[in-house]
Amino acid sequence: MSTPRTNAVSRRTALAGLGAGGLGLGLGASARSVTAQEASVEMATHPIVGAWFLRNDPNNLVDVDYGIFHGDGTYTGMHPIAGPVIGVWRPAGEQNVDVTTNALNISFEAGQYVPGTVHGWYSLTVDEDGMTFAGAYAVELTSPDGTYVASFESTTSATRLVVESMEQRGTPTS
């Protein structure tokens, strides 16, 4: 019985090779506008960083979603109709941010899927206490071929999610 030969490559060596390859690709990339991957300490410590409960329309109490502003300038969220939301943000001042988002369901009714792109632009201001924010936004919906479907503008407000103890269960988040 012969013993099969294996190439002994440690996990550390493999990861180092992948890291070096990724670094080479990153260094070889062309110059472009600032992206989330080029985040600074200013972004990581901005008061918008964290998890939030958003109310997207003051006249529609069920138009809510959850979102996370990451310290690297990325945004992830979940909207009950548009579905998963992904985006980027940048500081526009000590308490202000500009945000651009995209989602893939242009339906206006929960439970329905209509393919297309929901593109959003937001201008938000975090209150001094860091526990709430408010701002304005505009949204444009396009079909998969890029045809304009609809657009609207509104305001949003949000409350920061905080860790709660087991004794606090049953208390509304906002």
The tens digit of pLDDT for each residue in 118-155 reads 999 999 999 999 999 999 999 999 999 999 999 999 99
pTM for the predicted model, two decimal places: 0.73
Q: Which two tokens stand for residue 102?
A: 């995209």
Q: Which two tokens stand for residue 77?
A: 């969220």
169 pLDDT band, cuts 50/70/90, is confident
Q: What is the pLDDT of residue 39?
A: 58
Higher-confidence position of 9 and 98: 98
Higher-confidence position of 170 and 56: 56
- Rounded Cα–Cα distance for residues 46 and 13 (Å): 36
Q: What is the pLDDT of residue 172?
A: 66
Mean pLDDT of the 156-173 span: 84
Q: Delineate the domains of the chain, giving CATH numbers in brackets.
A: 38-163 (2.40.128)
Helix (H) or strand (E) segment spanning residue 50:
strand 50-55
14-to-7, 10, 19 alpha-carbon distances in Å: 12, 6, 9
In the predicted model, is pLDDT for residue 19 greater than 60?
no
- Listed in sequence order, the residues at least 6 apart from 161 whose beta carbon sits closer than 8 Å to its beta carbon are 50, 51, 52, 53, 66, 173
Task: Give the model confidence (pLDDT) of 62-120 as tens digits.
Answer: 889 999 999 999 999 999 999 999 999 999 999 999 999 999 999 998 899 999 999 99
* HSE-CB for 126 with a 13 A CA cutoff: 23
Mean pLDDT of the 9-22 span: 40
- Rounded Cα–Cα distance for residues 45 and 67 (Å): 17
